[in-house]
């Protein structure tokens, strides 16, 4: 199926307001506490970069790269660690930062895996949430925006490695229209 870049779903100004709101919420929750912020590569890096620059608490930054096994392009949620944490999260406040949650399978399993490392607290922050695609009971603690079930790119989200650098979120369309 061929896709083409479609219209803007979320503009840069709206994204900036979203990031500021999330940073205020997180800062209020972790005031005067150190926070380990774990970005899930590759999609979260732009969102995480904007977010951590607005956080008031002291932060330690780390990244993980994970993938899911696929069956016909559908995630099974089985997490394969490509790059693990470099810092210990034992007895520390941890914030997982992800670009988007849709089925929730991968994030649910990742959260379960990280809990075995005995963090003091473990919360999830996502820029975009597609609840219509949820296949498991996982809810982010901090949600930037709830979005419709559209194939989107930009602001870290990609299609075949392209479009991550767009400052806004755009819909990918097929030659026959949306999705």
Q: Please tell me which residue in 16, 102, 149, 158 is annotated as part of the active site.
A: 102
Task: Work out the angle at residue 111's Cα, subtended by the Cα atoms of residues 126 and 39, and round it to the nearest 5 degrees.
Answer: 45
CB 151 within 8 A of CB 158: no
Q: Report whether 20 contacts 28 (CB < 8 A).
A: no
Write 129-132 long-range contacts (CB < 8 A, 24+).
129/100, 129/101, 130/100, 130/101, 130/102
Active site residue 62: no
Active site residues: 102
């Amino acid at each position: 199926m061929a896709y083409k870049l479609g219209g803007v779903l979320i503009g840069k100004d709206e994204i900036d307001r979203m990031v500021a709101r999330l940073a205020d919420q997180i800062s209020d929750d972790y005031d005067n506490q150190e926070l380990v912020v774990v970005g899930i590569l590759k999609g979260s890096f732009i969102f995480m970069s904007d977010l951590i620059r607005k956080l008031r608490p002291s932060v330690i930054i780390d990244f993980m790269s994970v993938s899911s096994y696929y069956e016909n392009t559908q995630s099974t949620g089985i997490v394969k660690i490509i790059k693990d944490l470099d810092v210990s999260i034992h007895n520390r406040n941890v914030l997982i930062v992800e670009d988007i949650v849709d089925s929730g399978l991968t994030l649910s399993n990742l959260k379960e895996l990280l809990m075995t490392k005995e963090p003091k607290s473990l919360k999830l922050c996502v820029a975009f949430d597609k609840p219509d695609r949820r296949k498991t009971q996982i809810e982010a603690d901090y949600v930037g925006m709830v979005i419709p079930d559209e194939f989107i790119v930009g602001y870290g989200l990609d299609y075949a490695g392209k479009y991550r650098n767009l400052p806004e979120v755009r819909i990918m369309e097929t030659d026959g229209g949306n999705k």
